[in-house]
Amino acid sequence: MTPAELRVMLDAVSEGRLEPELAHRQVLTAMREEPFEDLGFARVDHHRAIRQGFPEVILGLGKSPDQIATIAARIMARDGPLLITRADQLAWKRVQEMNPEAIYHELARAITVRREMPQGKGTVVIASAGTSDLPVAEEAAVTADLMGNEVERIYDIGVAGIHRLLSARDRLSSARVIVVVAGMEGALPSVVAGMVDVPVIAVPTSVGYGASFGGIAALLGMLNSCANGVSVVNIDNGFGAGCIASMINHLS
């Protein structure tokens, strides 16, 4: 119930066209209405598309193919774009039965159904340090692409071979926002951020062994970046980075 609708209703009450009893109930309902659908085990948040410009995204991790399919069905029923992250082929099969358009991105472990989206203003660059960071980088790339962004991938430009990074300077400079994915010492975002004047979203990955502690070393490195403009998301959270990059790229 918008303020305007509230006014219309009160005028109706005042003019005798609406019973106060009925008006009472309508206002109370409006104040309590649930802008989501209750599936018992999950509440699909249909208002999110209005609040945040993209429907609820499904984190596949720890959900059964059945649960994933049920939630996906409700989202597709409203004809929105669909994004399921951390999903396997089984979940994809279930979704595909309902919607043959559903695509599985193997490297990114993501399921998508594409819809026309408003386009961001510039390019989102996804840079990564090593070959093993690719799944996370691809999750970011698929996310940003689906959300309506031109995406450019610049992979395997780790800091130990600085000439590889320098050779990508022009392409980095052309971005409106950059996602940098790196494991091990996580130094790439600092070097990249020192070369450009746009926001850098750093994604630590769990790649590495020993004292990398499943991505903690990279995470700490990124949080302590001596360069301006670096903010950080959770370890392996390619989706989160792609989503933030898209938000920034859609700022008018």
Residues 40-59 that bind its own copies (CB under 8 A): 40-43, 45, 47-48, 51-54, 57, 59
Q: In the complex, what is the shortest distance from the CB of residue 98 to its own copies, in angstroms, rounded to a whole number?
A: 19
Tokens of 164: 């590889």
Range in contact with its own copies (rule: CB under 8 A) among 72-80, 93-101, 109-117, 242-250:
242-250
Give me the half-sphere count of Cα atoms (radius 13 Å) on the Cβ side of residue 239.
16
Helix H or strand E encompassing 241: helix 238-249
Question: How distant, in Å, are the alpha carbons of 69, 92, 104 from that of 96?
Answer: 9, 6, 9
Which residue lies nearer to its own copies by CB, 41 or 90?
Answer: 41
Interface size with its own copies, residues (CB under 8 A): 114
d(CA 52, CA 246): 11
Query: Quick check: helix, strand or coil at residue 218?
Result: helix
Q: In the set 5, 106, 160, 174, which binds its own copies (CB under 8 A)?
A: 160
Tokens of 162: 């600085």
d(CA 136, CA 202): 11
Q: In the set 55, 81, 148, 215, which binds its own copies (CB under 8 A)?
A: 215
Residue 238 makes contact with its own copies by CB under 8 A = no
Residue 180 makes contact with its own copies by CB under 8 A = no
Residue 78 makes contact with its own copies by CB under 8 A = no
Residue 140 makes contact with its own copies by CB under 8 A = no
**Per-residue x/- marks for its own copies, 106-125, CB under 8 A?**
---------------xx---
Q: In the complex, what is the shortest distance from the CB of residue 190 to its own copies, in angstroms, rounded to a whole number?
A: 5
Could you give the angle at which helices 89-98 and 65-77 cross, rounded to 10 degrees? 40
Q: In the complex, what is the shortest distance from the CB of residue 131 to its own copies, in angstroms, rounded to a whole number?
A: 5
